[in-house]
């Protein structure tokens, strides 16, 4: 059992070695102001929304798009009603979107829907030209300044831009709050320092913008893995492109409330991470070796070590527990001591991560003070549950499945201007 303590220490040391660079990110976030931009021109944009049975929420998203303080004549909205069996298409059209309906039960997933929508624009509406394309999910809401703020960054030559991802149902329970803090930390403690240090950010599912000429350079939208957003990010970074960050462009999305649904979603993410490494990892390594591109290293660290080391740690400790109770019961105290110390240290680390995020983003989180404080203590348990999702992803069957969204709020229901 002493061997187990040594092995757990080695795993912890490997974690620290892989992610110690993020301590620099932390210092940058706390001590440096974010980069600011002034708009160089007013660009013309197409908004792309892939929706599957989103009748309950898509109207609120489209209202928030139409409520932007950016010139309305420079924004066109397109929705692909992807294998819908409800009133999504009808509601989207009633709210002013151009709607295309897609019926394909073989090629399922957001990547295929976006490819379909972009192909429609290029082939059926060639007279429509745009500087860039926004990608949103149907459950999103946009702050009224969203497009204006994104345009400031985009019009200064940044061909891809991601935004500040907030949560519209943060206060529902410990799971939605866990997601909320996870995405806020990703926005402000990963993407913001990356942007300041002029390395590449990564897009996170929704709330991002890319240039038309960048799409042409990539040969169109050809990202069909379970995590098409991460595949898109990896491809851009391997090509030497940089994804910028706009912290004043705030997008809200709905998080799953149920534990089972949460595990299914996150296991899909993790399976998608592994797919991206298998498909794009070689290109990332090649670019890193040839150019010293730190963004490639950062992307690889955010996909490989956390999965491999976590699964290895869970399997190792499980095997040692079984051996202990069957062959060396007298040494089980050492086993439990090792696990307890590791768990306490991990809890404290995760708590500090969550508490720091909560403290700096306090005014942007829309729920009561009591809930914010309570959920700071449950955030580590949310992060620990990624271990279950990793086991499901590695040893189970994972496929893309739509998540039902029901939180039908308007941007006015959430709050006012929360730009910093």
For the chain of 420 residues, list the mean pLDDT of each consecutive stretch of 10: 72 88 95 91 98 96 97 98 96 97 93 96 94 97 98 98 97 97 97 96 95 95 95 96 97 96 94 94 96 95 83 80 67 71 90 96 95 97 94 85 86 70
pLDDT of residue 340: 82
State how far the Cα of 189 lies from the Cα of 191, in Å rounded to an integer. Answer: 6
pLDDT of residue 417: 53
DSSP structure class, residue 409:
-
Structure token digits, residue 336: 């439990």
pLDDT of residue 74: 98
Q: How many other C-beta atoms lie within 10 A of the C-beta of residue 90?
A: 13
Structure token digits, residue 162: 């991601």
State how far the Cα of 340 lies from the Cα of 5, in Å rounded to an integer. Answer: 11
pLDDT of residue 394: 87
Bridge partner list, 164: 250
N- to C-terminal Cα separation, the chain: 51
CB-based contacts of 122: which residues, under 8 Å, 6+ apart?
Answer: none
Q: Catalogue the long-range contacts made by 338-344 (C-beta closer than 8 Å, 24 or more residues apart).
A: 338/1, 338/4, 338/5, 338/8, 339/8, 342/8, 342/12
- Give me the sheet containing 243-253, strands edge to edge: 98-102, 75-82, 45-51, 132-137, 208-211, 160-167, 243-253, 141-142
C-alpha pair distances (Å), 46 with each of 4, 38, 224, 235:
55, 21, 21, 22
32-70 burial, b at 16+ Cβ within 10 Å, e below that, comes to: eebeebeeeeebbbbbbbbbbbbbbbbbbbbbbbebbeb
What residues does each domain of the chain span? Answer: 27-32+40-256
pLDDT of residue 418: 56
Structure token digits, residue 263: 């595990």
CATH number belonging to domain 27-32+40-256: 3.90.550.10
Kind and range of the H or E element at 247?
strand 243-253
pLDDT of residue 229: 95
**The three-state (H, E, C) secondary structure of 105-150, written as one string:** CCCCCHHHHHHHHHHHHHHHCCCCCCCEEEEEECCCEECCCHHHHH
C-alpha pair distances (Å), 109 with each of 255, 268, 315:
18, 12, 31
Radius of gyration in angstroms for the set of CA atoms belonging to the chain, rounded to a whole number = 22
What is the signed CA dihedral for 254, 260, 263, 269, rounded to 10 degrees? -60
C-alpha pair distances (Å), 282 with each of 84, 278, 297:
37, 8, 12
C-alpha pair distances (Å), 70 with each of 45, 143, 149, 210:
11, 12, 9, 18
The region that residue 96 occupies, defined by phi over 0 for left and psi between -120 and 50 for alpha, beta otherwise, is left
Angle separating helix axes 305-327 and 332-360, nearest 10 degrees: 150
């Amino acid at each position: 059992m002493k061997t187990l303590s040594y092995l757990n220490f080695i795993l912890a040391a490997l974690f620290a070695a892989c992610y110690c660079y993020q301590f620099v990110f932390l210092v940058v976030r706390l001590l440096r102001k974010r980069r600011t931009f002034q708009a160089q021109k007013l660009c013309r944009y197409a908004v792309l929304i892939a929706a599957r049975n989103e009748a309950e929420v898509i109207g609120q998203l489209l209202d928030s798009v139409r409520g932007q303080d950016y010139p309305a004549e420079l924004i066109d909205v397109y929705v692909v009603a992807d294998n819908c069996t409800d009133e999504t298409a009808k509601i989207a059209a009633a709210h002013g979107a151009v709607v295309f309906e897609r019926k394909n039960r073989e090629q399922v997933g957001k990547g295929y829907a976006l490819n379909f929508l972009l192909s429609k624009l290029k082939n059926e509406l060639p007279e429509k030209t745009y500087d860039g394309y926004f990608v949103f999910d149907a459950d999103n809401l946009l702050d009224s300044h969203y497009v204006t703020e994104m345009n400031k960054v985009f019009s200064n030559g940044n061909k891809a831009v991601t935004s500040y991802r907030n949560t519209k149902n943060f206060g529902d329970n410990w799971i939605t709050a866990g997601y909320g803090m996870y995405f806020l930390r990703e926005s402000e403690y990963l993407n913001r320092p990356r942007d300041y240090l002029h390395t590449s950010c990564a897009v996170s599912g929704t709330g991002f913008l890319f240039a038309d000429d960048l799409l042409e350079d990539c040969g169109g939208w050809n990202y069909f893995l379970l995590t098409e957003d991460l595949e898109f990010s990896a491809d851009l970074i391997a090509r030497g492109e940089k994804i910028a960050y706009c912290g004043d462009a705030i997008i809200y999305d709905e998080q799953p409330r149920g534990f089972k649904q949460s595990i299914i979603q996150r296991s899909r993410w993790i399976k998608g991470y592994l797919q991206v490494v298998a498909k794009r990892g070689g290109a990332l390594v090649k670019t890193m070796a040839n150019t010293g591109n730190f963004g490639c290293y950062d992307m690889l660290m955010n996909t490989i070590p956390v999965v491999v080391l976590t699964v290895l740690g869970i399997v190792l400790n499980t095997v040692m527990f079984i051996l202990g109770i069957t062959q060396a019961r007298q040494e089980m105290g050492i086993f439990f001591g090792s696990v307890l110390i590791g768990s306490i240290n991990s809890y404290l680390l995760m708590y500090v991560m969550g508490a720091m995020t909560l403290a700096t983003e306090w005014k942007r989180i829309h729920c009561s003070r009591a809930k914010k404080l309570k959920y700071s203590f449950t955030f580590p348990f949310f992060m620990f549950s990624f271990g279950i999702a990793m086991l499901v992803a590695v040893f189970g069957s994972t496929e893309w499945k739509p998540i039902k969204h029901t939180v039908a709020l308007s941007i006015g229901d959430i709050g006012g201007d929360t730009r910093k």
